[in-house]
Amino acid sequence: MWIGGAEVAGADERWMPVINPATEEEIDRVPEGTLYEVDDAVKAAEAAFPSWAAKNPRERGILLFRGAALVRERHADLARFLTMEQGKPLKDAVDEVRGFANVLEYYAALSSSLTGECLPLGSSGDAMVTHEPLGVCGAIIPWNMPALLMAWKIAPALVAGNTMVFKPASQTPLTSLRLANLLEEAGIPPGTLNVVTGRGEVVGEALVRHPGVQKISFTGDAETGMRVQELAAGSLKSVTLELGGSDPMIVWEDADIEKAVAGAVRGRFYNAGQTCTAVKRLFVHQSIGERFVRMLKSRVEGLKVGNGLSAGVEMGPLSGAPQRNRIEKVMEHLTSRGQGLILTGGMRLQERPLERGYFYAPTVVTDVHPESPLLSQEIFGPVLPVMCVPDLETAIRHANNTRYGLGASVWTHDITVAREVFSRVQAGVVWVNRHLTLPPEIPFGGFKSSGIGRENGTQALHSYTRTKSLYIGW
């Protein structure tokens, strides 16, 4: 744990192992935090707040720029840790660490845009509107993108003048701890960013309940998000909730099939399918369905699966045994009810050299029964259901047939089709001829059970401020 600029052990001296999902070996251990460390971290953040908030926003921006530069310099080392604790291929881990630096730089550059308004109101008076930081903010993230999701939360919060208590997922605390260290090395004062490791039900809940915390930004499962919102209501905290998704990808009859196949493979199998905005359901126009599915099968069967540290690996393991068990249950449900045809995959990968590790074969399912959970729920693993559809009406109806509304994509060159999907599919982000791309400039967040509020863009910066008005009567 990293509290007030120092490494801290838990009050009851319990430790949590960090397991490499590709080898099942323990690579490190971190303290299992308690309510006491959460309280210490909030106090450290409260103590650091006045001087951090009093800085000229540009000064805060400069420190974030320095932090980003250090992260870029040490990216190789950071990416290695990320792969070892999380499983994704090294190349993707490098991209994620660079993504962390990109987000820091984006918000650092926005620091001078934190302005207010001056309103002359005639002879009766003048008014001024300012945007103040909130105080101590709490952030909680899952294990699938420990670097990028950390940046999405800490960068706007810190630039806006807040201090933070950050809780990484129990499975992936190492990269976050290293990143927090580097930011302090870059000059961010001790206590400004604190990291408390531990279990969600203990550390996470204590952070959400803490009266000293003004806002919680949470990313994770929809059920946990609802619990967070309920707990936050107890002290009337504002919340940003980035929750699950079941993103549809619609491939239209005029689509560039090769590009769409490549987009589907990357969109579903990146990070072993464990991405909130992964392509979780694919609807293809029936006129190109057969050709599309043939090409998809061949490309998926060619994916190189293995330890993310090995050269050329395109897909790593699942995050752990619980995640793999969940996928196996979903597949058992599908096969026992005859709700789909497994075109490829559908099993563990444990033969040499993968006899250890939580690997699961990249899987494509066709002829999916409309009632199958694959077509409405969030499947957080490398399983892609494909359904042929006769018209856009059917595609849009299926696309919206889920409690989620995070992302969606349509692959077409027909502007009318693109426009129709954009306006009728219920999702926070709609891509045309892309999926997954999330630059820090565009606001990101969900409709329906996919969340509340937005990360990225200027909206996120403003969500870490509160508006104060001054009226001067003459």
Tell me which residues in 182-201 interact with ligand NAD (CB under 6 A): 200-201
Terminal Cα distance for the chain, rounded: 53
**Nearer to ligand NAD (CB atom), residue 201 or residue 441:** 201
* 246 near ligand NAD, judged by CB under 6 A: no
Residue type (1 letter), 192? T
Stretch that binds ligand NAD, among 34-42, 164-172, 289-297, 361-369 (CB under 6 A): 164-172
Which one of 10, 133, 191, 244 is in contact with ligand NAD (CB under 6 A)?
A: 244
Residue 222 C-beta: closest distance to ligand NAD, Å: 6
**C-alpha–C-alpha distance, residues 311 and 75, integer Å:** 18
Say which residues have a Cβ less than 8 Å from residue 327's Cβ, sequence separation at least 6: 318, 360, 379, 380, 381, 382, 383
Stretch that binds ligand NAD, among 42-50, 105-113, 214-222, 298-306 (CB under 6 A): 214-222
Q: Going residue by residue from 107 to 146, which x/- string records binding to ligand NAD, judged by CB under 6 A? A: ---------------------------------xxxxxx-
Stretch that binds ligand NAD, among 3-11, 41-49, 217-225, 388-396 (CB under 6 A): 217-225
> Catalytic: which of 105, 167, 276, 378?
276
What are the φ and ψ backbone dihedral angles of 86, each rounded to 5 degrees? -115, -30
* 276 near ligand NAD, judged by CB under 6 A: yes
3-state helix, strand, coil split of the chain in percent (to 5) is 40, 25, 35
Stretch that binds ligand NAD, among 42-50, 127-135, 183-191, 204-212 (CB under 6 A): 204-212
* 208 near ligand NAD, judged by CB under 6 A: yes
What does each C-alpha distance from 168 to 84, 204, 455 come to in angstroms? Answer: 16, 9, 17
Residue 246, helix vs strand vs coil: coil
Q: Where are the beta strands (DSSP E) in 196-323?
A: 213-219, 238-242, 247-251, 279-285
Half-sphere exposure of 411 (CA within 13 A, CB side): 26
Q: Where are the beta strands (DSSP E) in 261-324?
A: 279-285
Which one of 34, 102, 219, 449 is in contact with ligand NAD (CB under 6 A)?
A: 219
Residue 241 C-beta: closest distance to ligand NAD, Å: 8
Residue 171, helix vs strand vs coil: coil
* 228 near ligand NAD, judged by CB under 6 A: yes
Residue 217 C-beta: closest distance to ligand NAD, Å: 10
Specify the residue for token string 């250090």: 70
Instruction: Decide if 137 is catalytic.
Output: no
Instruction: Decide if 455 is catalytic.
Output: yes
**Nearer to ligand NAD (CB atom), residue 61 or residue 212:** 212
**Nearer to ligand NAD (CB atom), residue 46 or residue 205:** 205
Stretch that binds ligand NAD, among 223-231, 408-416, 419-427, 462-470 (CB under 6 A): 223-231
Which one of 380, 411, 447, 464 is in contact with ligand NAD (CB under 6 A)?
A: 380
**C-alpha–C-alpha distance, residues 330 and 373, integer Å:** 8
**C-alpha–C-alpha distance, residues 203 and 214, integer Å:** 16
* 204 near ligand NAD, judged by CB under 6 A: yes
Instruction: Decide if 185 is catalytic.
Output: no
Determine the longest span between alpha carbons in the chain, in angstroms: 83
**Nearer to ligand NAD (CB atom), residue 228 or residue 296:** 228
150, 219 Cβ separation under 8 angstroms? no
Other Cβ atoms within 10 Å of 8 Cβ, number: 20
Instruction: Decide if 24 is catalytic.
Output: no
Tell me which residues in 346-375 interact with ligand NAD (CB under 6 A): none
Token reading at 461: 């910066």
Other Cβ atoms within 10 Å of 348 Cβ, number: 16
Nearest to 400 by CA among 425, 417, 375: 425
**Nearer to ligand NAD (CB atom), residue 286 or residue 377:** 377
* 454 near ligand NAD, judged by CB under 6 A: no
Instruction: Show which residues are catalytic.
Output: 153, 242, 276, 455
**Can you give the binding site for ligand NAD, defined by CB under 6 A?**
140-145, 167, 169-170, 200-201, 204-205, 208, 219-221, 224, 227-228, 242-245, 276, 378, 380, 406, 446, 451
